[in-house]
């Protein structure tokens, strides 16, 4: 009887399982919170400079590409509900070598992408105070390093407030500026032709960065077969609507040449239709959100290096943790120095093209992992399955390839150099490990 009673007792949930407690609203909040960041205050200017008013088309194309990539990514998250996102997917399905490659690409993407955030902060700080842009960017990175070394974390409430400020600021900019849009600024519509639109599409795609957070939370979303695709669609559509209005007001109030050359594009546009009051409000929102985004990038990159070191894919000392603060201090310092270097010698254009190349590339290994899982587990059906997979999965690869090409010579060259350095270091690391094992056996 004791055995029967024991069998009837409810089984305790294991610690490796996550509870499905996120509804549609919470999933959309995660998506929008991860997507709307400091970058939009800078990237609208870059996109406008590359495509002119046709930046509106570039944002629409980026939305479509994001959707094609996000839906297969959501299926992968349902098939492999694992912490670590794409790095864990690639390592689990394709093997440790692919895991290293995925982690290295992801690391490099955010190191280079940090440039448009930190330099953007410096540009808006210059607009407010006249302080040199590069010095402002460098000080921001130093402050982020100090915060992370001290183990201080931005609380969820503060992060939510920052995102809310960004959305309110962008919405206010849009509706305040709409009546002041001049049609004369919208012609010629595509001054740099199709090539300009194509180049701007990569920049616009970066503005949607973060949509994959919805898919990564797939194990915790209620009714994922229904809520996952809805949350992704609502996230991307809502952000697209906001970005299109922001871009329309920006290109409709100042020239595209001014947008492309400005270090504080939205503040310049706000000053045209709202004077100093609007300009100062946008500067405040931009400083707040770019600073929060820069700190988040230091957190993400340092934890990536820490995880790879702990998995023995980078030297073990990189995973050192401070006993006093609990901070992965070596990883923080390494990434802080790299990000500081990008802020000091990089440009917004170089940062967006190189970081964009690596950011797009980091979706390719997970897509390959999904193809293998579909082939090996053809009979299994996950909680969410990509609609029309024979069409959407190839389109996801095609969009990735197109965006990689759009990163241009600079992005491809510097991004490929980062990959080459990683491959050489990894081969050297594997050789050293094998030599050590052989020495112990001998």
Dist. CA 202–CA 210, nearest whole Å? 15
pLDDT above 60 for 26 = yes
Dist. CA 439–CA 442, nearest whole Å? 5
pLDDT above 80 for 250 = yes
pLDDT of residue 89: 82
Lowest mean pLDDT, pick from 46-55, 207-216, 370-379: 207-216
Q: Nearest to residue 423, comparing CAs of 93, 89, 103, 59? A: 103
Confidence of residue 440 (pLDDT cuts 50, 70, 90): low
Confidence of residue 82 (pLDDT cuts 50, 70, 90): low
pLDDT of residue 6: 42
| Mean pLDDT value across residues 107-119 | 93
Mean of the per-residue pLDDT values of the chain: 85
- Percentage with pLDDT > 90 across the chain: 44
pLDDT above 70 for 3 = no
Which positions ≥6 away from 158 have C-beta within 8 Å?
A: none
| Model pLDDT for residues 4-25, shown as the tens digit of each residue | 444 444 444 434 455 676 788 8
Confidence of residue 282 (pLDDT cuts 50, 70, 90): very high
Confidence of residue 442 (pLDDT cuts 50, 70, 90): low
Q: pTM of the prediction? A: 0.86
pLDDT of residue 5: 44
Q: Which two tokens stand for residue 104?
A: 């290295």
CA 24 to chain centre: 22
pLDDT above 80 for 326 = no
């Amino acid at each position: 009887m004791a055995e029967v009673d024991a069998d009837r007792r409810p089984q305790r949930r294991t610690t490796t399982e996550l509870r499905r407690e996120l509804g549609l609203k919470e999933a959309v909040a995660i998506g929008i919170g991860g997507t709307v960041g400091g970058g939009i205050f800078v990237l609208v200017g870059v996109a406008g400079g590359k495509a002119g008013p046709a930046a509106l088309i570039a944002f629409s194309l980026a939305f479509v590409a994001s959707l094609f990539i996000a839906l297969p990514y959501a299926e992968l998250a349902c098939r492999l509900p694992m912490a670590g996102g794409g790095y864990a997917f690639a390592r689990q399905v394709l093997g440790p070598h692919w895991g290293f490659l995925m982690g290295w690409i992801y690391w490099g993407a955010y190191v280079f992408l940090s440039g448009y955030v930190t330099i953007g902060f410096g540009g808006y700080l210059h607009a407010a105070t006249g302080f040199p842009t590069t010095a402002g960017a460098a000080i921001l990175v130093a402050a982020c390093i100090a915060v992370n070394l001290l183990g201080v974390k931005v609380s969820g409430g503060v992060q939510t407030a920052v995102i809310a400020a960004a959305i309110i600021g962008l919405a206010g900019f849009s509706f305040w500026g709409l009546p002041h849009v001049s049609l004369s600024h919208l012609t010629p519509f595509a001054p740099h032709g199709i090539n300009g639109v194509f180049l701007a599409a990569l920049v616009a795609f970066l503005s949607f960065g973060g949509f994959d957070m919805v898919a990564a939370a797939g194990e915790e979303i209620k009714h994922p077969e229904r809520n996952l695709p809805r949350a992704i669609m609502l996230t991307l559509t809502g952000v697209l609507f906001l970005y299109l209005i922001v871009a329309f007001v920006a290109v409709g109030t100042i020239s595209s040449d001014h947008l492309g050359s400005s270090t504080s594009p939205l503040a310049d546009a706000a000053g045209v239709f709202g004077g100093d009051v609007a300009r100062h409000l946008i500067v405040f929102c931009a400083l707040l959100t770019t600073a929060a985004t820069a700190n988040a990038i230091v957190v993400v990159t340092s934890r990536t290096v820490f995880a790879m070191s702990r998995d023995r894919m980078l030297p073990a000392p990189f995973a050192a943790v401070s006993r006093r603060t609990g901070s992965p201090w070596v990883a923080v310092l390494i990434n802080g120095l790299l990000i500081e270097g990008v802020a000091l010698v990089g440009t917004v254009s170089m940062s967006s093209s190189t970081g964009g190349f690596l950011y797009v590339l980091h979706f390719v290994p997970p897509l390959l992992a999904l193809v293998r899982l579909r082939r090996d587990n053809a009979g299994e059906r996950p909680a969410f399955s990509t609609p029309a997979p024979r069409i959407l999965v190839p389109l996801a690869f095609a969009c990735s390839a197109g965006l990689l090409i759009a990163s241009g010579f600079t992005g491809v060259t510097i991004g490929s150099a980062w990959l080459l350095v990683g491959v050489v270091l990894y081969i050297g690391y594997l050789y050293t490990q094998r030599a050590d094992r052989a020495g112990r056996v001998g």
